[in-house]
């Protein structure tokens, strides 16, 4: 269960490569009980930020009395594996009696892929931030070029020396210049 389709696809692909071929991704919360009953899953993987976890656990609590009770993974695994899963942001629920040999690789894979996905997201976020930073610096340079009548390399030099002197980042200096310029009436020069 994952409301992030990209991540769900990555997990699904990994599990298929590992030889698990009966995989269903659930995104929609409504009708959860019915879907689970119909699928009779052996293992459920869920993103720990998914708001449906309490609902899911309640269904399992009821199922404990049923023919195929579902247990929390923490019932059957070592603390270390559970901790790694929580750290990665994934939780697992397993049908009672499923062999440990089968559970372990599934969970390890989910943990690895969750971690890889988080890393990718972080990198993407950083790349976006870097792009936004570059945009602010370019605008500040244009303002300096227009107002101080300097070349682009000179404008860059001004930003850099000001940053070094005041022990701040270039982007912070650029941001201050852009903000000040907007306040002074959009003398952006761009």
Partner 1 sequence: MALDRLTIGFLPLVDAALPILAQEHGFAEAEGLELSFVRDMSWATVLDRLLYGHSDAAHLLAPLAIATTLGRGRPAKPLAVPFVLGLNGNAVTLSQDLAARLVETGKLGDPNATGSALAREIMRLAKTGQRLRFGVVHRYSSHNYMLRYWLAASGIAPDRDVDIVTVAPPFAADALAAGEVDGICVGEPWNSVAVEQGAGRIAIVTSQIWRRGVEKVLAVPEAVLEDKAPLFERLIRALLSAGRNFIDPDSWDANAALLARPEYLDGSAALIRRAISDRILLARDTAPVHIPDFMFQHRDAANFPWKSQAAWLYSQLVRWDGLTYAAEDAERAGHVFRPDFYRGAVSGHDEPLPGASSKVEGGLETMIAVGGTQGRLALGPDVFFDGRTFDPDDISGYLEALPVVK
Q: Which residues bind to partner 1, rule: CB under 8 A? A: 29-30, 48-55, 57-58, 61, 72, 74-75, 82-83, 86-87, 91
Burial class, 99, CB count within 10 angstroms (exposed 0-12 / middle 13-18 / buried 19+):
exposed
C-alpha angle 95-96-100 in degrees, rounded to nearest 5: 90
Q: How far is the CB of 48 from partner 1 (least distance, A)?
A: 5
Give Cβ neighbours of residue 107 (< 8 Å, ≥ 6 apart).
Answer: 45, 73, 77, 81, 85, 90, 92
Q: How far is the CB of 107 from partner 1 (least distance, A)?
A: 15
When the beta carbons of 62 and 127 are compared against partner 1, the nearer one is 62
Q: How far is the CB of 121 from partner 1 (least distance, A)?
A: 18
Burial class, 184, CB count within 10 angstroms (exposed 0-12 / middle 13-18 / buried 19+):
exposed
Give Cβ neighbours of residue 26 (< 8 Å, ≥ 6 apart).
Answer: 1, 32, 35
When the beta carbons of 55 and 135 are compared against partner 1, the nearer one is 55
When the beta carbons of 22 and 80 are compared against partner 1, the nearer one is 80
Q: How far is the CB of 138 from partner 1 (least distance, A)?
A: 29
When the beta carbons of 30 and 149 are compared against partner 1, the nearer one is 30
Q: How far is the CB of 136 from partner 1 (least distance, A)?
A: 23
Give Cβ neighbours of residue 39 (< 8 Å, ≥ 6 apart).
Answer: 24
The alpha carbon torsion through 1, 85, 73, 92 (nearest 10 deg) reads: 10
When the beta carbons of 122 and 169 are compared against partner 1, the nearer one is 122
């Amino acid at each position: 269960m994952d409301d992030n389709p990209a991540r769900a696809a990555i997990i699904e692909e990994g599990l298929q490569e590992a030889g698990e071929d009966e995989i269903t991704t659930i995104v929609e919360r409504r009708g959860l009980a019915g879907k689970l009953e119909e699928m009779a899953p052996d293992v459920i993987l869920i993103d720990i930020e998914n708001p449906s976890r309490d609902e899911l656990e309640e269904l399992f609590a009821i199922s404990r009395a049923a023919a195929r009770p579902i247990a929390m993974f923490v019932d059957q695994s070592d603390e270390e594996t559970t901790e790694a899963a929580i750290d990665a942001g994934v939780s697992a629920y397993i049908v009672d009696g499923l062999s440990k040999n089968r559970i372990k690789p599934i969970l390890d894979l989910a943990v690895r892929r969750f971690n890889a996905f988080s890393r990718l997201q972080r990198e993407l976020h950083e790349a976006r931030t870097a792009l936004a930073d570059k945009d602010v610096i370019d605008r500040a340079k244009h303002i300096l070029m227009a107002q101080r009548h300097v070349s682009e390399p000179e404008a860059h030099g001004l930003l850099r020396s000001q940053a070094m002197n005041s022990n701040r980042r270039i982007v912070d200096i650029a941001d201050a210049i852009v903000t000040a310029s907007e306040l002074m009436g959009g003398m952006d020069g761009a």
